Structure 1
Amino acid sequence: MSPSQRLCALLMSEADASGVVGWRGSEPVSWQDFRLLARRWQATFARQEAQRFVLFFADSLTFSAALFGCWQAGKQAWLPGDLTPATQAALRPQVGGWAGDGAGVEGVSRLQPADVPAPVPTRPLDADAEGLVVFTSGSTGAPGACAKRLRQLFDEINALETAFGRPQVRTVVASVSPQHVYGLLFRVLWPLATGRAQQARTLVYLEDLPHLLPAEEAGGAALIASPTHLGRLPVEPPLSASRLLQVFSSGAPLPDAALPDTLRVFRHAPIEVFGSTETGGVAWRQRNPQAPAFWQALPGVSWRLDEDRLEIRSPHLPTLDWTAGADRAKAVDGGFLLQGRADRIVKIAEKRVSLQAVEDRLQQGGLVSAVRLVVMNEPREQLAVVAVPTEAGWARHDAQGRRALAQTLREQLLGVVERVVLPRRWRFLPELPRNAQGKSTQAQLMNEFDPGRPAVRDIRRDGNTVTLTLLVDPALPQFDGHFAAHPVLPGVAQLDWAVLFGREHFPLGDTFDGLEAVKFQRIVEPGTQLMLTLESPGAHRLNFQFQSALGPHASGRVLFTGAST
């Protein structure tokens, strides 16, 4: 039976009822218990008149049971990447209910798995059913809904097993959410289709790996990771990291700078998978020492170039027609090299501007190592830049100021764009903001221009602790009216910053639930360089401390309820 056939009949077979479908920490979960939960969800969805339902779970086994119960009932599952107020507003008129963690979708009924007194009849899933809607990452615009037929997903699992299946790998551990197509395919569907066990809990820190792997006699494991996670590996990894026989990375390009650490920790390079929400997986590579850096197509996928634009034909697409992608590429013996996106042309002041060309020129000047452009619409349409300075760039920034560095970079662009469209707004950071999939979304980049957000000069991580160096600009609006003769930073602003940066660096619960042991020991004046230390022992608590060269300023704990993926 092929992996796709096994997925179609997942709830029908009882042959492996006593086997292990996965783990919650060190506790095994049997196929019998999994199928019972899935059938309870099936009964719940079958009773609903509506066809579309939001699923939002952190626990991947509970997610899997709800997903297959939804499909078995002939319904369509919608998988948002978050449940922010904006996302909820977009979902509310389109779905008939939701199932999962946290507060859910306000105004839409919450579903629970039904009690099933007798076996629920099951049948093979219809592979042509349009059973899923997932959302794009929002890295080049607002997140968009993308419908998938089950055969597109299941055929891709066949390709993954053909390309990467190793019998020694018996467990799948993941640092990525099942809410996104990469996590759905690699963390959920692939192990279910091939009899591998999945770890239900998300790996947040590599140091937690010993608590998420079964006993050594259970075999090796695969880690489903993001470029963000692989770029923050500990200096002293746990000994159990040697049991990770495969490490996967997808969702965004893996920076070259991350490769030495991955080789040091895992003794082999990650398997990088190139694709998108719309196209599914397209190609892969593994950059071990002396290995080629080109991409080769996944089984069943064909590619060609129209001038320099990549076109693909794939069973993971809605049709088998040739489809133009959004990437430029160059053919090499054995595969292709990516050359940047082809769809990043905008109009500013009636002038066509290639965002890629602007970013390339900025990085060629030696003052910035990474950069992303966004188009701001207020007060008028203009370019804005989020950049990571090099050592030379930071030296100029610290000696001459942010404006001087920005002006130097503007002058570098005069040969690329006309003066009227030169970027007018700049933010310099120690690293680009990235989501759990390793992508810099438009929303994240736009947030950097919030006038109430302090500038971040440095970020340091050590396990579940993050320390940020914040520059408290006298122009911050939090000083307005507080107080005219002797401005000080309000305590509520410090609490806001603790929660703001806590949510950006840790998977905290959905809902604020209170404060504990809060102390304000020293005022914060304009121009202070603050050290904000954040520690999150779990999704429900965030410890914070503000200090400067003068000593401690504030500390306490913020409590949260609900789960976060």
Structure 2
Amino acid sequence: MTLCPSPQFAIPDTPCLVLDDGAPSLGESLHCARDWAAQLPRAKYLVLLCERRSHFILGFLAAQMNGMTVLLPPSRAPGAIREILDAYPDSACLVDDGPPPAAAVVRNCRDFHPIRSARQPASGEVSVPPEHVAAIVFTSGSTGRPRPNPKTWASLVHGARLAIRRFGFDSRHCIIATVPPQHMYGLETSVMLPLHSGARVHGGLPFYPEDIRLALERCPGRRVLVTTPIHLRACVSANLDWPAVERIISATAPLDKTLAAHAEDHFKAPVMEIYGCTEAGSLASRHTTQEDDWLLYDDFQMTVHGEHCRVTAAHLAEEVELADVIQLKTARRFELLGRHADHINLAGKRASLADLTARLTAIPGVVDGAFLEPASVNGATTRMAALVVAPGISEARILERLREQIDPVFLPRPLVKVASLPRNATGKLPRTELLELYERQVMRR
């Protein structure tokens, strides 16, 4: 198995990264990665904490060259890193700069050679055994404790090829991603996909709307913005003058059709949505404003038995049971009905956390919010609560608007206003942190 199995996927002379001071080719990037590989500590695992995408890609390639497995934590919180280091003691850390967030053998990217401007021999091949566990990706923790998911090199390459086939990526495209490469969605779309399609990728991690606009402006060719609903909402609200974009791709959380329509109006480009999970990777897509159903990627098969749905594919080691309730429409198309963990039974009535939250955040004046289940008796929900970011509207007014839309039994008791929600870098809300915030706020009331 090679990094670039054939010229149609990635050409060594083709620019690979877009940096502030140039656009190195894939061959130059691989030459630099070889230098980095020689300087990495001897260890079985590499905890890759680099936030700059260029550093992450070089560190990821260097680890593969050394036969290391990259560990991708669900967050940069010191406690999360410490848990991973305890579970994988033969580990080293690679960070952009400064001290690591937890004790470990560490190397800083500042100590490594930058990508050299001098032309290097163009070599697009790096031998990686197909069965090598290239990465262990941890789930986000939005529904419980983060879980490890090993990914072989072959499975990552195959997943990238499926996305290339679905979206038609090639050397004319430039990817600007707001999602961290440590997330499965970010790893697939902003690391593996450009390495195997010949597309460029912006080397930073733009976060705020103006940063995203500047990153788009710097990138040549057919721009593709890879982002999340939380970033997309911020971009739409910013009312900036956006550079031309060929397509927007969103994932990590359900994308509201109204937001998708506003984004298409602002960017003058179609908004596509990816459905997937850490265990299986990306597996389906849809044009959010044009269709409700999802279309499976090639090679994926889906079976549904009652409320249980499983997917299989040639590159997956085993079938994966999805955490969502799904209705098959045809062999290739399905409707997403919500997550198992979202479904609530209260006083004989049913609702979903996702739907309740969507109604809350759709209220004018609400910036962000989330419903949650703060208490249960013998596993049964006894009442609902909600946290809301809404500086310009009162709690009473929010409850008044909710009464117009939801059954009274699901009204939040209490509704708590907060300055912000503990979203991670992909916009998800880790359940433990959400409950901790709620408990702190309730104790102050």
Select the residue among 105, 109, 112 that pairs with 1:109: 105
Which secondary structure does the structure 1 equivalent of 2:105 belong to?
A: coil
Q: Does 1:86 align with 2:79?
A: yes
Q: Does 1:248 align with 2:249?
A: yes
AA partner of residue 312 (structure 1): V
- Structure 1 residues 277-286 or 160-169, which shifts more? 160-169
State the Cα distance separating 1:8 from its structure 2 match: 6.5
What is the distance in 2 between the residues matched to 1:355 and 1:190? 44
Residue in 2 that maps onto 1:160: 163
Residue in 2 that maps onto 1:440: 429
What is the distance in 2 between the residues matched to 1:58 and 1:277? 19
Superposed CA deviations along residues 53-78 of structure 1, whole A, max 9, x for unmatched, are 21111111111111111111111110
Residue in 1 that maps onto 2:337: 339
Larger strand percent: 1
Residue in 2 that maps onto 1:315: 314
What is the distance in 1 between the residues matched to 2:255 and 2:402? 27
Against the structure 1 CA distance between its residues 28 and 302, is the aligned structure 2 distance closer, same or farther, given a 3 Å change threshold?
Answer: same
Which secondary structure does the structure 2 equivalent of 1:336 belong to?
A: strand
Residue in 2 that maps onto 1:472: none
- Structure 1 residues 351-360 or 161-170, which shifts more? 351-360
Which secondary structure does the structure 2 equivalent of 1:339 belong to?
A: strand
What is the distance in 1 between the residues matched to 2:349 and 2:389? 18
Residue in 1 that maps onto 2:116: none
What is the distance in 2 between the residues matched to 1:168 and 1:125? 23
AA partner of residue 427 (structure 1): V
Superposed CA deviations along residues 105-158 of structure 1, whole A, max 9, x for unmatched, are 43211135778xxx99x8510111112111111111122222211112111011
What is the distance in 2 between the residues matched to 1:295 and 1:225? 18
User: How much is the aligned-residue C-alpha RMSD, in angstroms?
Assistant: 4.2
Q: Does 1:386 align with 2:375?
A: no
Against the structure 1 CA distance between its residues 314 and 185, is the aligned structure 2 distance closer, same or farther, given a 3 Å change threshold?
Answer: same
Superposed CA deviations along residues 434-454 of structure 1, whole A, max 9, x for unmatched, are 333232221342243253x5x
Residue in 1 that maps onto 2:34: 39
State the Cα distance separating 1:214 from its structure 2 match: 6.5
AA partner of residue 438 (structure 1): G
Contact 2:169 2:197 in 1 (8 A): no
State the Cα distance separating 1:382 from its structure 2 match: 7.3
Against the structure 1 CA distance between its residues 409 and 335, is the aligned structure 2 distance closer, same or farther, given a 3 Å change threshold?
Answer: closer
AA partner of residue 40 (structure 1): D
Residue in 1 that maps onto 2:221: 219
Residue in 1 that maps onto 2:12: 16
Against the structure 1 CA distance between its residues 68 and 9, is the aligned structure 2 distance closer, same or farther, given a 3 Å change threshold?
Answer: farther
What is the distance in 2 between the residues matched to 1:354 and 1:156? 42
Against the structure 1 CA distance between its residues 433 and 253, is the aligned structure 2 distance closer, same or farther, given a 3 Å change threshold?
Answer: farther
Against the structure 1 CA distance between its residues 316 and 388, is the aligned structure 2 distance closer, same or farther, given a 3 Å change threshold?
Answer: farther
Q: Does 1:427 align with 2:428?
A: no
What is the distance in 1 between the residues matched to 2:354 and 2:100? 41
- Structure 1 residues 263-272 or 221-230, which shifts more? 263-272
Q: Does 1:357 align with 2:351?
A: yes
AA partner of residue 339 (structure 1): L
Against the structure 1 CA distance between its residues 81 and 360, is the aligned structure 2 distance closer, same or farther, given a 3 Å change threshold?
Answer: closer
What is the distance in 1 between the residues matched to 2:53 and 2:201? 8
State the Cα distance separating 1:273 from its structure 2 match: 0.3
What is the distance in 2 between the residues matched to 1:364 and 1:69? 42
**Identity within the alignment, %:** 21
The number of residues matched between the two structures is: 419
Q: After the TM superposition, which residues 165-564 of structure 1 pair with which residues of structure 2 at under 5 Å, given as runs? A: 165-167=168-170, 169-209=172-212, 211-213=214-216, 218-232=220-234, 233-234=236-237, 236-240=239-243, 242=244, 244-288=245-289, 291-319=290-318, 321=319, 323-332=320-329, 335-343=333-341, 357=351, 359=353, 371-375=370-374, 385-388=385-388, 397=396, 412-413=408-409, 426-428=415-417, 434-451=423-440, 476=444
What is the distance in 2 between the residues matched to 1:180 and 1:132? 11
- Structure with the bigger RCO (C-alpha within 8 Å, sep 6+) is 2
Against the structure 1 CA distance between its residues 252 and 359, is the aligned structure 2 distance closer, same or farther, given a 3 Å change threshold?
Answer: closer
Which secondary structure does the structure 1 equivalent of 2:107 belong to?
A: coil
Rg larger for: 1
Against the structure 1 CA distance between its residues 258 and 430, is the aligned structure 2 distance closer, same or farther, given a 3 Å change threshold?
Answer: farther
Which secondary structure does the structure 2 equivalent of 1:448 belong to?
A: helix
- List gaps (5 residues or longer) in structure 2: 114-120, 364-368
Which secondary structure does the structure 2 equivalent of 1:20 belong to?
A: coil
- List gaps (5 residues or longer) in structure 1: 415-421, 456-474, 478-565
AA partner of residue 221 (structure 1): R
Against the structure 1 CA distance between its residues 44 and 374, is the aligned structure 2 distance closer, same or farther, given a 3 Å change threshold?
Answer: farther
Superposed CA deviations along residues 382-411 of structure 1, whole A, max 9, x for unmatched, are 766225599xxx667159xx8x99999998
Which secondary structure does the structure 2 equivalent of 1:97 belong to?
A: strand
State the Cα distance separating 1:103 from its structure 2 match: 2.3
Contact 2:2 2:126 in 1 (8 A): no
AA partner of residue 91 (structure 1): I
Against the structure 1 CA distance between its residues 341 and 215, is the aligned structure 2 distance closer, same or farther, given a 3 Å change threshold?
Answer: closer
AA partner of residue 301 (structure 1): F
State the Cα distance separating 1:324 from its structure 2 match: 2.5
AA partner of residue 337 (structure 2): Q
Superposed CA deviations along residues 134-188 of structure 1, whole A, max 9, x for unmatched, are 1111111122222211112111011011110144742111111111111111011
